Amino acid sequence: MTTPSKPFNRLLLTGAAGGLGKILRERIKPWANIIRVSDIAEMDAAGDNEEVIRCDLSDKSAVFALMEGVDAVLHFGGISTENTFEAIMSANIQGTYNLYEAIHKHGVKRVVFASSNHTVGYYKTTDYIDANSPRRPDSMYGISKCFGEDLSRYYYDHCGIETVCLRIGSSFPEPINKRMMVTYFSYDDLVEMLRCSLFAPRVGHTIAFGMSNNPAAWWDNRYASHLGYQAKDSSTQFADKFPDTADYPAKDDITTIYQGGGFLLKTPQYK
């Protein structure tokens, strides 16, 4: 039954069985009367005001059915780490295309696309970039996220569908290596940034970096200033986990040279 006070009637979350999907499933409840969750994998049974629909995003007709009656989408589905190109093409390229076709068909008005910092992972850790900096993907995964950003730009320019592409940093309970002191994105800040992305009066096509207010930063969010996102958390609370040390990495340690970190090692055969 519809609770009139909720902003949306039906909000779709894809990738609901994934790491972030599970976290978000609970947190986004205030934003809609019905939360529709979807994944290719099995999910927990539907709770109150929930709809659970298992769906392979590479199946176009299934995606069209999934989108029926949906008002807004948080697209966290697809493959979220490095994998074979074919798997990524199916889930992230064909899948995201299917999703946007369905979004267009069903008149969905606002989309948040979970993009990734791995679209720009081949910038150096001494670079400071913004949303207009040319992309430097660091993996097949990163390339598929570049595709999603270009695709959603097209659907904005051509059809007027508004998307926030959120280049998520490291959204984990806490940083587990020194790199994540820079890329840390607390769950609370992620939820707040999603809230801003959904409820700002107009977002057009925005590319934003998902990060908390960490002391060191590689990314300038100036072109997302209209979102009104203000981080509440910072990785400084975990500073004790990474005490000062003179053990500098080797000069040719690409995980320290480049922003993408360990992702650059995931296809070692190339080097």
Residue 123 annotated as catalytic: no
Which positions from 108 through 127 interact with a second copy, judged by CB under 8 A? 109-110, 122, 124-127
CB 218 within 8 A of CB 259: yes
User: Of the listed pieces 20-28, 41-49, 147-155, 183-191, which binds a second copy according to CB under 8 A?
Assistant: 147-155
CB 246 within 8 A of CB 219: no
- Which position among 19, 69, 228, 262 is part of the footprint of a second copy (CB under 8 A)? 228
Backbone angles phi, psi at 244, to 5 degrees: -60, 140
Please state the closest distance from residue 140 (CB atom) to a second copy, in A.
8
Q: Residue 126 has which token pair?
A: 């001494």
Please state the closest distance from residue 46 (CB atom) to a second copy, in A.
22
Which positions from 231 through 250 interact with a second copy, judged by CB under 8 A? 236, 244-246, 248-249
Residue of 97, 100, 122, 141 marked active site: 141
CB 181 within 8 A of CB 216: yes
Task: Report the C-alpha gap between 13 and 153 in whole angstroms.
Answer: 20
- Which position among 154, 176, 188, 237 is part of the footprint of a second copy (CB under 8 A)? 154
CA-wise closest residue to 100 among 50, 139, 167, 149: 149
Q: How many residues bind a second copy (CB under 8 A)?
A: 82
97 binds a second copy (CB under 8 A): yes
265 binds a second copy (CB under 8 A): no
Which positions from 46 through 65 interact with a second copy, judged by CB under 8 A? none
Which positions from 186 through 215 interact with a second copy, judged by CB under 8 A? 195, 198-204, 206, 214-215
Sort strands 205-210 and 8-14 into parallel, antiparallel or unpaired.
unpaired
- Which position among 106, 153, 238, 241 is part of the footprint of a second copy (CB under 8 A)? 153
- Which position among 3, 81, 230, 237 is part of the footprint of a second copy (CB under 8 A)? 230
User: Of the listed pieces 13-21, 41-49, 75-83, 87-95, which binds a second copy according to CB under 8 A?
Assistant: 87-95
Q: How far is CA 35 from the centre of its chain?
A: 18
Q: Is 182 exposed, middle or buried (0-12, 13-18, 19+ CB in 10 A)?
A: buried
CA atoms within 13 A on the CB side of 36: 20
Task: Report the C-alpha gap between 251 and 268 in whole angstroms.
Answer: 18
- Positions marked catalytic: 141
